[in-house]
Chain A
Amino acid sequence: MATKTKAGPTKYEISINGKAATVVEDTYLLKAVMDAGFNVPTLCNHKDLTPEGTCRLCLCEVEINGKKKLVTACNYPIRGEIKVNTNTEKIKKHRKNLAEMYLGRWPNVEAIQNIAKLCGATDKEKYKSDITDENPKACILCGHCVRACSSFVLQNILGFAGRGITRHLTMPFGETDPHCIECTSCGYVCPTGAIQVTDDMNNPADPELIRRHGMRINAMMAMLDDEQNRMRQVGTANLVEVMDSYDLLPVHNYKFGRHKDTPKIDSGVMKSRYFTQGAADGCWVGCSMACAKAVDGFELKTGPYKGQKVVVDGPEYETAAGGSNMGGFDLDFIVEFNFYCDTYGVDTISFATTMAFVMECFEAGIISEEQTGGKKLNFGAMNEALECLHEMALGEGFGVDVGQGIRRLKEKWANELGADPGFLNDIGMEVKGLEFSEYVTKESPAQQAGYALAIKGPQHDEALLIFFDAINNQIPTYEDKAEALYYFPLFRTWFGLLGLCKLIWNDVVPPDNSKYPPNEATKIPERVEDFQKFYEGMLGEPLDEKKMLRQSERVFNLQRLISYYLGYGTRADDMPPLRAIGPATEEEYLSREERYDKQMKEEIGIDPEGKTTGEKLAITRDFRYKRYNELIDAVYKKRGWDNNGVPTVEHLKEIGIDIPEVLTLLDKPNI
């Protein structure tokens, strides 16, 4: 009987050669047959490629409601309670005949000989003809290469032309297409060796090792991306709805983590109404993830290019979330501000976060139309935000102020307008002078430290721990968090050292990754291994986790020392604003009152009953700063830094960078 519930997939009870099996709807019959322990010969099927059903060797008999028919098992999706027979006399005869035809055409190809054996075909002469090819490495027209070219690396260099016996590959052997990126995917999947790969590019020590691991990633991307993060379809924009559903999408200067209008700016709308190229777009041709996206023919409504149709690169998650942070739940606005930031050379994140701060200050009455040049800068004032952006680029009006960024604005408004510096510091989302990127960190101590300790300022490049911490509660103790804040910044820095992209590492996940204990699973061990093998394959030197981390640790500590030398590398520089670690205003406290009251009771051990919101806010603030300080104590210790966050000489010695040039950085802080 078919079992179906509202949200789950349908399952069917089927029988295969009399043996019962339960399968999920749309499972390909070939998989069900193999899982049930039966063997069926195949030629055009490949585990890493979408089946096409061209060779017809896998033919099976399927009975539905008493009616029997023959289907190609490899691309037959199961959608009912069927009875399957994989080996009737008719099928056996058909397969044998087919195998004899293949054997007659390509008698010396090993893959064909194996199939012939399986089908009981022995007669090589029966179908011998003019087109018989004696080459043991002949092309058998299986189509693996054509499909790999398009699905692994999104190229369409190869194809078939002609029909029947004149069918052939469009790129003749021995020739190269100038557009071919030489990724060797086609050679990797070719079962006969008809495609030869020559490995002389950049003289890798072990090209085969690199290929093996590269293809593992390509195959996984081709088979899993559509059901995982849809990076090829929508890129990082998929995070908009994910973050909103976890209450972690910044809304109104990080006050809130979710908004009823998020569906107006999510990846579904971007895909259906904005992204136009209908194809994955990579940073470089041949990237198998190709997560960059573009909006074509976008008509600008403001600024110097008003009325013109332009191509816009993006929007990425951070840019869209910058929109929600400013209260701009409108993709026309987001795409427009994305375009002008790119055109003016302004970072979308810094602009959006600064603007969100400006808007909150406007609503709080710290600034007024007098300062803004008559602009009403409430949250959601999209046209006015764009005006600020244009003014910033022209060096005119209030835009000049906005362009200073949050740190300088706080100082300016405290000095010139007598604004309360405490409030400005609480809500001004910057650390080390850089604006926060777009995640709400309030419920994730590890992400708070991941941001605020980051050497170049609060962005998640070093440690994106919000999932492990806020959602999974996977690193509950200080030690766990400190370990994560040791491992991930070093691991992620390693990509920078080698000039590699991190998205390939954690945006496609092996289906069996869950076999690792959670703290290991977060590292995605199989993918880490791939990267270690790339290193080894290129340089001929094996790399393990310890060595990998040590490579980064040397650079990471040097960066921290330079930061220290420049006046940005001590504990005081690692302090996040209140809003990053908890509610900063009564409005914010009240918006999640139940949660904060519960935490006060359970985590702080104080009964919120009878306390005013102001009192509760103060208690929460003290507790959270205390907790933050304890956490960074643990992190500093783990990193070999002193209590002030400065690398110790012993630690520099241990990691082998205690050379005089480096040590002088310790002597001359705060120039």
Chain B
Amino acid sequence: MITVNNKEKLDWHEGMTVQDVVDRMGYVLSIITVSVNGQLVPKEDYATYEIPDNAEVNVFHLAHGG
């Protein structure tokens, strides 16, 4: 089980990547930043960065629009 943004619980599976979480949660890639257990993950690593079980994942989508 992993926690996203201190709120959402997602089932963990072996080999789960940041990209999986982003897809699952419907995050839109334009201006989000992702950290796993406090470690910032660069955008180009989303597909390969594996999330450990019990991780705290934070995904921040910056506000935009008027």
Contacts and interface: CB of A to CB of B under 8 A. Distances in A.
State the main secondary structure of chain B at its contact with A.
loop
**Which bucket holds chain A's interface residue count?**
35 or more
B54 interface: no
Interface in B1-48: 5-7, 17, 19, 23, 26-28, 30-31, 33, 35, 40, 43-48
Q: Which 3 residue pairs are nearest across A and B when measured between Cβ atoms?
A: A8-B47, A514-B33, A5-B47
Nearest to A6: B47
Contacts of B60: 472, 474, 514, 518, 521
B62 A467 contact: yes
Interface of A: 3, 5-9, 11, 24, 227-230, 236, 238-239, 241-242, 245-247, 317-318, 460-461, 464-468, 471-474, 476, 502-503, 506-507, 509, 513-514, 518, 521-522, 524
Contacts of B6: 473, 476
A522 B44 contact: no
A228 B66 contact: no
A326 B65 CA distance: 21
A388 B19 CA distance: 46
A522 B66 contact: no
A506 B48 contact: no
A241 B47 contact: no
Contacts of A472: 5, 58-61
Nearest to A11: B44
Contacts of A513: 33, 62
A473 B48 contact: no
Contact of A229 (B5, B27, B30, B43): B30
Interface residues of B, number: 29
B7 A473 contact: yes
A522 B59 CA distance: 13
Given A9-B47, A513-B62, 20 more contacts: A5-B17, A6-B47, A7-B19, A8-B19, A8-B44, A8-B48, A228-B31, A230-B30, A236-B65, A317-B65, A318-B66, A464-B65, A472-B60, A474-B5, A502-B66, A514-B40, A518-B58, A521-B60, A521-B62, A524-B62
A524 to B, nearest CB: 7
Chain B CB count within 10 A is highest, among A8, A228, A521, A524, for: A8
A57 to B, nearest CB: 29
A514 B28 CA distance: 17
B28 A241 contact: yes
A242 B28 contact: yes
Contacts of B30: 227-230, 238, 242
B44 A24 contact: yes
Nearest to B64: A507
A140 to B, nearest CB: 35
